[in-house]
Amino acid sequence: MTYSWLDAPATEVAETARTLLGWLASANGVTIRITEVEAYSGLGEDPASHAHRGQTPRNAAMFGPAGRLYLYRIYGLHTCANVTCGPTGEAAAVLLRAGEVVDGVDLAHARRPAAKLSRELASGPARLVEALGLDLTAYGTSVVDGTGPLTLRPPVEPVPGERVVVGPRVGVAAAHDVAWRFWLADDPTVSTYRRHVPRRRRGNLESTS
């Protein structure tokens, strides 16, 4: 099995993201079929990317090698999982936004007791991470060689092109209209689209962005 497509140039990260639709992500007794992803490049060309200002201890995994987990916390509460791609030194990653739990449903429910329906178990990036039982200790581990807690494997059959929907990314403050989000049409696990709303200073109606 080859994952050479993960090494495609960072400028092709959108196509890499599209390729991951339908793939299976397995970790800690749960397997999720990926139904929604977002692409992020770096170094100035994508201001929505964590890497657009250069390498830091937080985003180092984005700079390679490909096929590693880039995990980060948002609002100090939730963890999101990305798969790194592109040649080493070229920052790029694909955010795993949502999926369907296809194995280990009971275990996923135990990890996400707030989910009333199975389709809600991984219907968002933080929910997906919780369902898989991942945390920041998996940062930088491989998703392709079996040495890390998360393993990716291809679907039995590729997702037909007509099932793939393309649209703007969710909740990013910059480049929010870039159509680098991909999802499976009519899939109930896909997260709800929310455009970023700039925060306002108290007592000031002007946007802070």
Q: What is the pLDDT of residues 152-181, one digit of tens each?
A: 999 988 899 999 999 988 877 777 788 899
CATH number of this structure's domain 4-184, picked from the four choices 3.30.465.10, 2.70.70.10, 3.10.20.600, 3.10.300.10: 3.10.300.10
Distance CA 205, CA 187 (A): 38
**Per-residue confidence (pLDDT) for residue 205, from 0 to 100:** 34
In this structure, which amino acid lies at residue 3? Y
Q: What is the pTM of this model?
A: 0.89
Which residue in 73, 80, 105 sits closest to 94, CA to CA? 80
Q: What is the pLDDT of residues 70-114, one digit of tens each?
A: 999 987 789 999 999 999 999 999 999 999 999 999 999 999 999
Q: What is the mean pLDDT of residues 182-200?
A: 79
Distance CA 82, CA 61 (A): 10
Q: How many CA atoms lie within 13 A of 143 on its CB side?
A: 33
Distance CA 163, CA 120 (A): 21
Domain ranges of the chain: 4-184
Block residue for tokens 């009333």: 116
Q: Do residues 150 and 69 touch, judged by C-beta distance below 8 A?
A: yes
Q: Do residues 40 and 180 touch, judged by C-beta distance below 8 A?
A: yes
Q: At residue 151, does pLDDT exceed 80?
A: yes
**Per-residue confidence (pLDDT) for residue 94, from 0 to 100:** 97
Q: What is the pLDDT of residues 2-38, one digit of tens each?
A: 578 898 888 899 999 999 999 999 999 999 999 999 9
Look over the chain and give the mean of its residue pLDDT values, rounded to a whole number.
88
